[in-house]
Amino acid sequence: MVLWYEFYIDRELSQILTTTFSLVFTLMLAFEAILVSKKDSTNVIEKEVISQTFISVVSSSILSLIGIILSVVIMFITNCTAVNIITILVSVLSFMTVMLLLMIIKRTFMIFMNDSKK
């Protein structure tokens, strides 16, 4: 799909993506620390949701780290085919990261709404 629209990531967009992925990675690391502290819950359902959320956060962190690496690599590549392939990979990683972030927000809302009912 990216090849049909002749879209590619240039140096400026690559720098923006590197910064964005770095911020997401940092926030996910901080969020992992918060989730580890909540893991001592006695509620079985809440514990399951926390465990699933932790897996989503770790997955998002790993995808962000891969996105950072690919965004930096794309700055130094001059081959047009390689740039197109990395553009596709970064686009897919960005989409997956956004979807994981939305899922994390939903699950976090569920966790903290259960805490407020108690």
The pTM score is 0.80
Query: Average model confidence (pLDDT) for the chain?
Result: 83
Q: Tell me what pLDDT residue 73 has.
A: 92
What mean pLDDT do residues 28-45 have? Answer: 79
DSSP 8-state secondary structure symbol assigned to residue 7: -
Q: Tell me what pLDDT residue 69 has.
A: 93
18 within 8 A of 68, measured Cβ to Cβ: yes
Spell out the domain ranges in the chain. Answer: 10-117
Q: What is the pLDDT of residues 69-113, one digit of tens each?
A: 999 998 898 888 888 888 889 989 999 999 999 988 888 887 777
**What is the distance between the alpha carbons of residues 18 and 52, in angstroms, rounded to a whole number?**
27
**What is the distance between the alpha carbons of residues 31 and 29, in angstroms, rounded to a whole number?**
5
Q: Tell me what pLDDT residue 93 has.
A: 92
- If DSSP codes are grouped into helix, strand and coil, which group holds residue 6? coil
Residue 112, φ and ψ in degrees, nearest 5: -75, -25
